[in-house]
Amino acid sequence: MSDDLLKMVQGRMTPLSKTMGMVFTKVEPDLIEAEMLVRPDLCTTPAILHGGAMMALADNVGAVGTVVNLSPGTTTTTIESKTNFLAAVPEGQKAIATAIPLHRGKTTMVWQTTIRREDGRTAAIVTQTQLVLQAK
């Protein structure tokens, strides 16, 4: 099932995730993984991943987790996100995001995404709430 979900996500990447160079490596109902190379255009000074770019990575990963768990005829949007920044990710390294569900309900889902550097150090922990909506 993971390969089918991964192919579905890769075929439906958002314009922002494509622009930022996000690559989904694992897509399962209980685990989403993606990575992103820290390029100069994603950095702040001094040559480290911008916090907003890190949050965008986490938001996309958590949203994918919700999407693969949605009931037919529903869609999702982020309604809350909280980020704890713990370490910088330098230019040239990959930011590696891993999301797990904390809650999968009928009207909301909560995902926790941990972003790590290539050396394994935790760079950020993001908790987001996704609202489940009826598709229009």
The pTM of this model reads: 0.95
Segment 118-122 shows an average pLDDT of: 98
Segment (H or E) for 89: none
pLDDT in tens, 52-98: 999 999 999 999 999 999 999 999 999 999 999 999 999 999 999 99
Segment 94-107 shows an average pLDDT of: 98
pLDDT in tens, 39-60: 999 999 999 999 999 999 999 9
DSSP E strands: which ranges in 18-121?
23-28, 31-37, 43-44, 48-49, 74-85, 94-104, 108-116
Q: Quick one: fold of 2-134?
A: Thiol Ester Dehydrase; Chain A (3.10.129)
Closest CA to 98 of 132, 59, 61: 61
Place of tokens 């989403």: 32
Segment 5-23 shows an average pLDDT of: 92
Query: Which region, left, alpha or beta, applies to residue 21 given φ > 0 means left and ψ of -120 to 50 means alpha?
Result: left
